[in-house]
Structure 1
Amino acid sequence: MRPLDGTGAAELPEAGLGLTDDAPPGASEEPAAAEAAETAAPGRCWLCRSSPCGSCAQPEAKKKAPCPGLGLFYTLFSAFLFSLASSLVKKVEDVHAVEISAFRCVFQMIVVIPCLIYRKSGFLGPKGQRIFLVLRGFLGSASMMFAYYAFQTTSLADATVISFTCPVFTSIFACIFLKEKYSPWDALFTAFTIVGVILIVRPPFLFGSDTMEINESYSVHLKGTFAAIGHAVFAAMTLVILRKMGKSVDYFLSIWYYVALGLIEGIIVLFILGEWSLPYCGLDRLYLILIGLFGLGGQVFLTKGIQIEKAGPVAIMRTMDVVFAFIFQIIFFNDVPTWWTVGGALCVVASSTGAAIRKWCQSSK
C-alpha cells in the first residue's frame, strides 16, 4: 500500500497545477496556490474537488474494507495448520523432539532472513530491547521443544488441551511482572483450568488404579503432561515479554531471535543427549519439511487474522485447535478420547474462552 499511496500523492499536485493553469489572467497567484494545495490534500477528489467525493470515496472504501469474517477464517485456517503440524510431530516418533525443533528453526530461518533484509530491520534490534529479545528467543524455543515432546509422549488431544492453559499462566505472570490487575474472574478461570488438567491427568490417588488403563504407560503419560504444562508456562512468559516490548520491535526481528536462539539451544541439547541424527526414512524427512511448512503457514495466517480482527474473537476461534486435535487423533491414530479428556477439554476451553471474552469486553470499553 505504501508505493500506491506515494504515487497517488505525487500525482495530485500535478493535477492541481494543470487545473489552475486555466485560471483567468487577472486572478492572483495566492488563491491559485491555495486551491492547488486544497486539491492535493489527502482525501479530496482531484476531479470534483469535494471532500469526500461520492463517486470516488465509495469505491476506495470498498477496496480498503476487509471482507467480513476474513480474520476469523484466517484464524481457523491457522488452527487447522497448527493441528496438522502437531499430528505430523506425533507421526515421526523415531526423531527426537529437539531434532524436530532444530529442523523447524532452520526451515523458518531461510524465510525470515530475506524478510529482515527487505524490511531493513537489522539483526540485533534496539539496544534497550535486546535482553528481552534474547529471553523471548530462549523461552519461546524451549516452549516449542516441550510441546513437541508432549505430542510424542501423550495423546494429541491431551497435549493440545493442556497447552490451552497458557492464558491462565499469562494472567498470573502479567500480574507479577507487569503489575496488571488479577481479578476474581481470573481466579475463577484458573480454578476451571486446574479442574480440566486434573480430569486429563487423572492422578491415581484421586481416581484409583483403574484410570491408568490408557494406551501408553502412566509414567510416559505423566511425562507428556508435565511437558505440556511446561510448554504453557514458557509460552505465557514469552507472551508477557512480547507485551512488555510492545510495538517497539519489528515482528520479524522477534521471530529471528526465536529461530536463531532456538537452533543454538537445540544443538546444545542434542550434543548433551548425543542423539543428533537425520531420519533414515524418506517419509520422515518429508514429515519434517511439512512440519516446518505448516508451522510457518499457521503463524502467518494467525498474524494476518490478528491484524484485521479483534483479539477477542481471534482468541475464541483459536480454541478450534482442540476440535481439530480430537478429529486428527481419531482419523490418523484411531485413538478415541475418553470422557475424562472431553470433560477436561470443556473446562479448559471454557476457561480460555471466558478469559478472552472478558479481555475483549474490557478493551471495547
Structure 2
Amino acid sequence: MGDVASRKNGGISEPTENDSILNNGNENSRPSHHQESGNVEDERPQGCWGAIAGAFYALLGGLSLGATDIFVVIGVEGGMSPFQQLLVKSIVIVIVIVPLMMYHSVNLLKVKRKDIILNILKGTFEAGNTLCFNYSLVLIGVGDATAIAVGCIPILASLLACLFLSEKCKVIDVIITIINLTGILLVSRPEFIFGTTAEHGEYDSLGYVLSIAAAVLLSLGALFTKMMSDGTSLLLILLFNGICGIVVTAPTVYFFSTMPLLAAFQSNPKNVGFLTGMVACFLLYIYSFNKALQLETAAKVTLLFNMNVFTGFLADTFLFGNTPTNLELIGAALILFSSLLAFLAAFWANRQKIEDVEKN
C-alpha cells in the first residue's frame, strides 16, 4: 500500500494508490478486484457526484444517529445502561465487519502503523463520545444535551480541520453554521437559554460537561478519519470502532452493571426489539458518517450530520404525540434550509475544482 506502480507478487497484483477505492480527498479512483492493503472493492463517485454522495451519506448518518438516540432513551427507561447498549452495538459491529473484511481480502498486516494508531484513537474517542452523550441525555434531557453537543460539533470540527488539515473556512460556511445553530436552538429549546419551571437536578452540571465532552470527542474522531492515508478501508475503520467500543465498555459492564442484560430482557421483553432497532440504526450511522468523511470536508459533513436533531423533532411530533410550537417549526425549517445550503456549497466547490482541472 503506497507503491506507485503495481507489481506482481505471488500471482496477486497489488494496487497502486490511485487504485484505492475509499480515498480521503482524492478525486479519481478505479476499482480493482481483490485488494489486500486495506482497500475495499467499490467505486468512489467522481466529480460533482462525489459532492452528492458525500452530502447523502452525511444526511443519512445524522438521521440514523437521531433514530439511535431515540432507542437509547427507550432502552435506558427499560433498564439497559448506556454502557451495556454500547457493548452490544460494538460486538455486533465486529461480528458483521470481520466476514466482510475476509470477503474483500482486507489485510491488516499491510496497514500502515500511522493508520493503526489513528484508528485506535478514533475508535476510543468515538466510544467515549457515545457514552458521554448518552449519559448527558439521561442527566439533562434531550433538549439541553442535543443543543450543546450537536451545536458545538460543527464549530469544533471546522476549527480542527482548519488547524490540522488546512481546510478553508469560507464566509458561506460561517453563514450556514449560524443558520444551523439557530435552528437547533429553536427545536431543542435548551433550558439554559429558554428557561423552564422544572427543578434543576443534582447532576445538571455534570450533564453539561458530558455534552461538551461528547462534541469534542466526536470532532477529534472526525479529524483522525481525515488524517488517515488515502485508500484506508472503511471496513477497517468500522472494525476498530467495534473493537475499541468493546475494550472501553466490557470491564465497566462486568464490574459495575446493576442489572445484567438477560435480566433486562426478562423484565421487559420489548427491550429485545428496541435493542435490535438501536443496533441497526447505529450500524447505518457509523457507516454513513465515516463514508461521508471520506468524500467531503469535515466542516460540511458535521453541518449536514446535524439532521439528527430533525429526526428527534419528527419522533417527538409523530411518535410521542407532542404538538410542535411555532418556534420549533421555524427551527426545523432552518435546519433543513442550512442542510440544503451546505449541499449546494459542496456541489459548487466540487464543480469549481473540475473546471479548474479542465482549464489546466
The TM-score normalised by the length of structure 2 is 0.64
Report the counterpart of residue 266 of structure 1 in structure 2.
249
Rounded to whole Å, the distance in 1 between the matches of 2:349 and 2:166 is 17
Cα displacement (A) at 1:152: 3.7
Note if 1:136 corresponds to 2:122: yes
Determine which of 60, 64, 69 is the counterpart of 1:86. Answer: 69
**Residues 158-201 of structure 1: CA deviation (Å, up to 9, x unaligned):** 54454254222111111233344445555566666776677633
Q: In structure 2, do the counterparts of structure 1 residues 303 and 137 end up closer, same or farther at CA, with 3 Å as the change threshold?
A: closer
The one-letter code of the counterpart of 1:90 is V
Report the counterpart of residue 113 of structure 2 in structure 1.
127
The farther-off stretch of 255-264 and 241-250 is: 241-250
Rounded to whole Å, the distance in 2 between the matches of 1:327 and 1:87 is 11
Determine which of 118, 122, 132 is the counterpart of 1:146. Answer: 132
Report the counterpart of residue 272 of structure 2 in structure 1.
285
Cα displacement (A) at 1:324: 2.4
Determine which of 155, 159, 184 is the counterpart of 1:168. Answer: 155
Q: In structure 2, do the counterparts of structure 1 residues 243 and 225 end up closer, same or farther at CA, with 3 Å as the change threshold?
A: same
Report the counterpart of residue 252 of structure 1 in structure 2.
235
Report the counterpart of residue 196 of structure 2 in structure 1.
212
SS in 2 for 1:92: helix
The structure having more radius of gyration, on CA atoms, is 1
Cα displacement (A) at 1:361: 3.4
The 5-angstrom pairing of residues 40-119 of structure 1 reads: 79-93=62-76, 94-119=79-104
The one-letter code of the counterpart of 1:268 is P
**Residues 331-364 of structure 1: CA deviation (Å, up to 9, x unaligned):** 3334455666666666777666655654543343
SS in 2 for 1:212: coil
Cα displacement (A) at 1:217: 4.3
Q: In structure 2, do the counterparts of structure 1 residues 330 and 192 end up closer, same or farther at CA, with 3 Å as the change threshold?
A: closer
Q: Is the 8 A contact 1:89 1:151 kept in 2?
A: no
The 5-angstrom pairing of residues 279-358 of structure 1 reads: 279=264, 280=266, 281-300=268-287, 318-336=305-323, 357-358=344-345
The one-letter code of the counterpart of 1:95 is M
The one-letter code of the counterpart of 2:227 is K
SS in 1 for 2:107: coil
The TM-score normalised by the length of structure 1 is 0.63
SS in 1 for 2:219: helix
**Residues 268-304 of structure 1: CA deviation (Å, up to 9, x unaligned):** 3435644462124221132112211222134456677
The one-letter code of the counterpart of 1:110 is I
Q: In structure 2, do the counterparts of structure 1 residues 346 and 275 end up closer, same or farther at CA, with 3 Å as the change threshold?
A: farther
Q: Is the 8 A contact 1:170 1:236 kept in 2?
A: yes
Q: Is the 8 A contact 2:136 2:208 kept in 1?
A: yes
The one-letter code of the counterpart of 2:132 is F
Rounded to whole Å, the distance in 2 between the matches of 1:334 and 1:154 is 21
**Residues 101-128 of structure 1: CA deviation (Å, up to 9, x unaligned):** 1111011111011111222223463223
Q: Is the 8 A contact 1:146 1:231 kept in 2?
A: yes
Unaligned ranges ≥5, structure 2? 1-48, 353-360
Rounded to whole Å, the distance in 1 between the matches of 2:218 and 2:310 is 21
The farther-off stretch of 177-186 and 348-357 is: 348-357
Rounded to whole Å, the distance in 2 between the matches of 1:170 and 1:267 is 29
Size of the alignment, in residue pairs? 292
More helix by percentage = 1
Q: Is the 8 A contact 2:83 2:253 kept in 1?
A: yes
Q: In structure 2, do the counterparts of structure 1 residues 263 and 147 end up closer, same or farther at CA, with 3 Å as the change threshold?
A: same
Residue identity over aligned pairs, in percent, reads 20
